[in-house]
Amino acid sequence: MVSLSSPSTLVKKPNSKMANYDVLPLDPALYYLDPRLARLFKQSTGYRNEADLKAHILRIQADAYAMCPYPCIRLFSFTQLAVTEYPYYKSIIRQGRLDPNAILLEIGVGFGNDIRKMIYDGYPIEKVVVMDKNQKLWEIGHRLFCSTPRTFPVKFIRGDIFDQSVLSDYTSPSLSQPNIHSLDTLTPLKEHATTITLQMVFHLFDLKRQYLLAKRVASLLSSAPNSLIVGRQMGDATPRTMMLGKSPHFIHNPESWERMWSDVFPKGSVEYRTALVDLPPHLRSGSSGMLGISQFLVWSIRRL
């Protein structure tokens, strides 16, 4: 167990050079630990006392925000869950247990809170692959959950999914099942991932970039019926481009979201479930750090 630091160590200056937007200060009043994650946190960290656990989480948040001043870190997205809200969640876990060819891929894994919960609920760790452009976030996740690559041996791939060296458009899918432990790129996973999750990823890009991302994600999805892509991001009733600093970010509503994907998958080949969900009160209070948006777009795409 990591020793507790004094409260003064929680005050750190974010690296604003990493952001092209105004970096807001941390606010402990925004702290929220999803009750569905509390048991996992306590078991992983060894902190049984609520105050000690909160102090640990606040300390890790401060360290992370100093390196990567992302709004989602400020708003404690890493102590909340997304995937458990999906109607297919239990089916995903069951498939992981029963299907020898099941592969779960999370793109933009961050600290790994969702993937850890899925493994905690029974998805076999040896069938899981995660990737992120920023390896620092994954390493901070180990500190957050007091784990190491040895005690939590999920296959991590560092890279940018838009990079051809990470996912090649020019390599045909392999007919043989990939060896997860030998992976160093996503290319061998083409048409092999039975479940793909992307949490708080798509809204980071403009519409053109999102369409390219959708096509690259689709290339990884297994052709087997019931293969799934699930995700969540900022959404709004009116689709539009919003500026975060100098960067354009496209925010979808359900109709614009499904319209974009209709150019990726042939008509009738997939089933969409898409909905706008109000941010919970603890997030709405800090929504100025999330583009001023007050809703999530929660979605799934299932092969028929």
- Do 256 and 152 belong to one domain? yes
**Is 2 inside a domain boundary?**
no
Q: Are 199 and 232 in contact (CB under 8 A)?
A: yes
- Do 49 and 15 belong to one domain? yes
Amino acid at 223: S
pLDDT in the model for residue 10: 39
Q: What is the domain-level CATH number for residue 163? A: 3.40.50.150
Structural domain range at position 62: 7-79
- Do 295 and 223 belong to one domain? yes
Tokens standing for 192?
């092999």
- Do 54 and 200 belong to one domain? no
pLDDT in the model for residue 20: 52
Query: What are the respective helix, strand and coil percentages of the chain, to the nearest 5?
Result: 40, 20, 45
User: Of 58, 79, 100, which marks where a domain is finished?
Assistant: 79
**Is 1 inside a domain boundary?**
no
Domain count, the chain: 2
- Do 75 and 90 belong to one domain? no
DSSP string, 48-82: -SHHHHHHHHHHHHHHHHHH---HHHHTTGGGS-S
**Is 293 inside a domain boundary?**
yes
d(CA 207, CA 221): 21
- Do 65 and 153 belong to one domain? no
d(CA 298, CA 197): 11
pLDDT in the model for residue 169: 96
d(CA 264, CA 116): 30
- Do 29 and 140 belong to one domain? no
Name the stretches of the chain with pLDDT < 70: 1-21, 282-292
Q: Are 210 and 204 in contact (CB under 8 A)?
A: no
Instruction: Output DSSP code: residue 252.
Output: B
User: Of 23, 49, 79, which marks where a domain is finished?
Assistant: 79
According to DSSP, the β-strands at 295-303 and 228-235 are antiparallel
Q: What is the pLDDT of residues 97-120, one digit of tens each?
A: 999 999 999 999 999 999 999 999
User: Of 79, 97, 125, which marks where a domain is finished?
Assistant: 79
Nearest Cα to Cα of residue 277 among 229, 242, 231: 231
pLDDT in the model for residue 16: 47
**Is 22 inside a domain boundary?**
yes
d(CA 236, CA 240): 8
Which residue spans within the chain are E strands per DSSP? 104-107, 128-132, 155-158, 195-199, 228-235, 240-244, 247-251, 270-278, 295-303
pLDDT in the model for residue 245: 74
pLDDT in the model for residue 262: 98
pLDDT in the model for residue 9: 34
